[in-house]
Amino acid sequence: VLVEADAVRQKGLPMADYFLWNDDFEFTTRLIRGRRALYCPASVVMHKTESFGSTDADPGERFYFEVRNKLWLFSRSRGLNPGEKLVYGASTLRRWARTVARSTDRPVLLRAMSRGIRDGVRTAPRPNAVVTASAELEGR
């Protein structure tokens, strides 16, 4: 993603608490709200991981972050307008249903989903300064 520095100064950096899941989605939707963006279908993203699955591959315990962060995005981010939240929300519910249906360990996935729903409703992403300060205190 190429962005103008002024846009980042105005809209802010990616939110650290979204790390691992939906950080890019939240950041780019927030960044381009009210701006023009270009789509480049020929661009390629390289995920340098041992195995990279489809969006509905069984994520196990990590599903917690998908659920929590998506709920944060739909309820707290200014990146999407109400109509977009409806469309992306419906798409998300459909993908989650497929993920659960295809899971090889549904109890793990459902526990992660339940925790993600709980924390997505009860909590909010912390300001980046708070996240980095707590990481410094922990010696990371």
Ranges in the chain, pLDDT < 50: none
Tokens of 119: 């924390």
Task: State residue 105's pLDDT score.
Answer: 95
Task: State residue 4's pLDDT score.
Answer: 87
Please count the structural domains in the chain. 1
Task: State residue 66's pLDDT score.
Answer: 96
Cα separation of 22 and 3, whole Å? 18
Task: State residue 134's pLDDT score.
Answer: 83
**pTM assigned to the model:** 0.85
Tokens of 101: 């249906």
Structure confidence by residue, pLDDT tens digits, 2-30: 888 999 999 999 999 998 899 999 999 99
Using DSSP's 3-state secondary structure scheme, residue 98 falls into: helix
Length of the chain: 140
Q: Closest by alpha carbon to 121, among 59, 82, 71, 79?
A: 71
Domain region containing 113: 5-137
Task: State residue 55's pLDDT score.
Answer: 57
Task: State residue 137's pLDDT score.
Answer: 73
Buried b (16+ CB within 10 A) or exposed e, 4-34: eeeeeeebeebbbbbeebbbebbbebbbbee
Cα separation of 66 and 68, whole Å? 6
Side-chain-side CA neighbours of residue 116 (13 Å) = 23
